[in-house]
Amino acid sequence: MNTQFSFNSPTILITGGAGYIGSHTAFLMYKKGYKVIILDNFWQNQSFNHNWAQVIKGDFADKKILEKIFKENQIDAVMHFAAFIEVGESVKNPLKYYQNNVVKTLDLLEVMLKHDVKKFIFSSSCAIYGIPQYLPLDENHPKNPINPYGKCKLIIEETLKDLYNSHNLKFVSLRYFNAAGSLFGENLGERHLNETHLIPLLLRAAKKNKTFTIFGDGYKTKDGSCVRDFVHVSDIAQAHVLALEYLNKNECSDFFNLGTGNGFSVKEIVAAVEKILTTKIKIKVEKRREGDPAILVADSSKANEILNWKPKYSDLENILKSALHFENIIYKDKNYSEEVQKF
């Protein structure tokens, strides 16, 4: 594998490239020989000591910074990860989401187009579908998001379609299901202030012998708890590489689901973590979290057929063991331990 970019390597701007999915993708792009520029505001206070990318600290919609980046570099494509990501928070504070995830993304697109950059890869989400009318969800499923987070993603997808028509902006929108796991050995993983995601919280509960809360067990699912489709972050990163190759070869744009097609319930994930850590986790059940559909499982055959995307790392054991590997790293990180200890 080529791990050195050359003078002629295409340069990719990655917003949110110091975040969870962005950093895994940025690293893979570097490994594939691209020159990577990361623009990230580091609002998660994450440490990011990697020399394989040029890192610019700043807001992804800061026009001064963007102008400088686009003037000084021949940007081939933009991968846009930077966004707020909590469904529950988006229900409580919609303006925060519309402002950041919609308005500021429009600013980014405006500057891109001004500089004639015409390839865009967007981090979308299965949240755009809302309550499934059938399963697994394919890309043609009606789009009825039930929370502002999903609505923001849909607004940007619609905007991208319009910009494709008006400005010939080529894009791929990747609709992630539940990203999880980490890349072994690269100090990359899921690290959020005020963590809300199932797998890191469960691992912490298990390691610290604390109670884990299941949000609702009265759903119409196999065991009453929500069912999700967990896909390894390295597989998601690989889809971005393939999406860029697709844009390089084709004069069209498209939308793809990224999931495995396997649904695991929250209770099944609890049992799997207990097995891996050979421990029993204390559980309490609370009311449902607002904005949570009962089941989200992907039909990703389109990504398979058109992008040739095949998840390689997404079996549940690998997802959980790699997530645990990173949890063990952040436990030792002095910058971060205070946050984790609060749990």
Smallest separation, CB 169 to ligand UDP (Å): 28
User: Residue 48, SS3?
Assistant: coil
User: Residue 226, SS3?
Assistant: coil
Which lies closer to ligand UDP via its Cβ, residue 62 or residue 86? Answer: 86
Which lies closer to ligand UDP via its Cβ, residue 206 or residue 214? Answer: 214
Which lies closer to ligand UDP via its Cβ, residue 52 or residue 215? Answer: 215
Q: Residue 314: what residue type?
A: S
User: Residue 231, SS3?
Assistant: strand
- Rounded to an integer, what distance in angstroms lies between the CA atom of residue 20 and that of residue 180? 9
Q: Token pair for residue 187? A: 């100090």
Smallest separation, CB 65 to ligand UDP (Å): 29
- Rounded to an integer, what distance in angstroms lies between the CA atom of residue 98 and that of residue 101? 5
Query: Which residue number places its CB atom closest to ligand UDP?
Result: 226
Kindly report the CA angle at 35 between 33 and 41, in degrees rounded to 5? 135
Contact positions vs ligand UDP (CB under 6 A): 87, 178, 196-198, 201, 213-215, 226, 228, 266, 289, 292
Smallest separation, CB 214 to ligand UDP (Å): 4
Smallest separation, CB 83 to ligand UDP (Å): 13
Is 149 assigned a catalytic role?
A: yes
Which lies closer to ligand UDP via its Cβ, residue 109 or residue 323? Answer: 323
Judging by beta carbons within 10 Å of its beta carbon (0-12, 13-18, 19+), is residue 143 exposed, middle or buried? middle
- Rounded to an integer, what distance in angstroms lies between the CA atom of residue 242 and that of residue 147? 29
Is residue 83 within 8 Å of 61, Cβ to Cβ? no
- Rounded to an integer, what distance in angstroms lies between the CA atom of residue 226 and that of residue 269? 11
Smallest separation, CB 182 to ligand UDP (Å): 15
Is residue 211 within 8 Å of 284, Cβ to Cβ? yes
- Rounded to an integer, what distance in angstroms lies between the CA atom of residue 292 and that of residue 236? 22
Catalytic residue among 97, 149, 246, 336: 149
Nearest alpha carbon to residue 150 among 130, 180, 133: 130
Question: DSSP labels for 134-146?
Answer: SSSB-TTS----S
Is residue 294 within 8 Å of 221, Cβ to Cβ? yes
Instruction: Please enumerate in sequence order all residues whose Cβ is within 8 A of that of 221, keeping only pairs 6 or more positions apart, or say none.
Output: 227, 265, 294, 295
Which lies closer to ligand UDP via its Cβ, residue 102 or residue 266? Answer: 266
Which lies closer to ligand UDP via its Cβ, residue 168 or residue 341? Answer: 341
Smallest separation, CB 295 to ligand UDP (Å): 9
Which lies closer to ligand UDP via its Cβ, residue 78 or residue 297? Answer: 297
Q: Which residue has the tokens 């755009």?
A: 128
Smallest separation, CB 72 to ligand UDP (Å): 36
Q: Which residue has the tokens 């489709």?
A: 229
For 160-189, b/e burial (b = at least 16 CB within 10 A) is: beebbeeeebbbbbbbbbbbbbbbeeebbb
Name the residues annotated as catalytic: 149
